[in-house]
Amino acid sequence: MKFDLHCHSHYSDGKHSPSFLVQRALANQVTHLAITDHDCTAAIGEVKDISAMLTLIPGVEISCEWQRHEIHIVGLCINSEEPQLESLLLAQQAGRRARLKEMGNELQKLGIDGLIEYCAKLTCKSLSRSHVADFLVEKGIVKNRQKAFKTFLTRGGRIFVEPNWCDMTEAIDAIHNAKGLSVLAHPTRYPLSKRKLTNLVSNFAIAGGDAIEVSYGNVDLHTQKHLTEIALAKFLHVSAGSDFHDSNAHWTDIGKYPTLEELAKKNAIWEHPKWHS
């Protein structure tokens, strides 16, 4: 079996359709795929019956707040129609639209018009700063996404707007209520010291979290081993996924991430008692 439990479609900040992700997974010999769009489950119904050769795991990635830090929690094996989860995701999407509108207002003050109109044409249901970055590149304001984030979109940037995410515990509860399993996504991508990261994992475990993502695109083997040790010390399972967004990003692909260590495989999330596919 080959799992990829973290990737994104054009319904959030990915570049491709859900069917493209499925075909890419099949080409790369993935057997179990979770499309985990940010605060959105639109992809689930679209690909539910697309291929008998691939097991599709209903998933989502929820943006949330922990001690003033933005943290992402992946939900796997969820019932996407469960009312509490559905309500939370709709609120998150509304917050994203409101944030984007504020950014559009800030851009207008700088003489840059058209953000809202640009976003209205997208397939996306869960708007993000990545879409604002793409708009700025397309308008010729900046050369690339990296420059857009550095100049405009990160904290202290010219149009930065504070997000209003749900609390981490609320995200975990909503996933559990939807019969799912909660995973702390890509832990080393947050701007946290080692001590803060340890505190985050502890708080995640106390809140009922189920697993840590220990292998993902571009993670090095030393970090993977460290994350695995943290997970096992906290009696958490481990998960893995490419976090694939774009086929033009050659450093990542569906199913591409460092292989789990043998000890980690025994504690993989697909071995969790509540795993169902």
Burial label for 58, CB within 10 Å (0-12, 13-18, 19+), is: buried
Query: Which amino acid type is present at position 253?
Result: D
Closest CA to 4 of 125, 173, 174, 183: 183
The whole model's pTM is what? 0.96
Would you write out the chain's pLDDT as a tens digit for each of its 277 residues? 999 999 999 999 999 999 999 999 999 999 999 999 999 999 998 887 776 789 999 999 999 999 999 999 999 999 999 999 999 999 999 999 999 999 999 999 999 999 999 999 999 999 999 999 999 999 999 999 999 999 999 999 999 999 999 999 999 999 999 999 999 999 999 999 999 999 999 999 999 999 999 999 889 999 999 999 999 999 999 999 999 999 998 888 999 999 999 889 999 999 999 997 6
Distance CA 104, CA 89 (A): 22
Residue-range domains of the chain with CATH: 97-153 (1.10.150.650)
Distance CA 246, CA 145 (A): 13
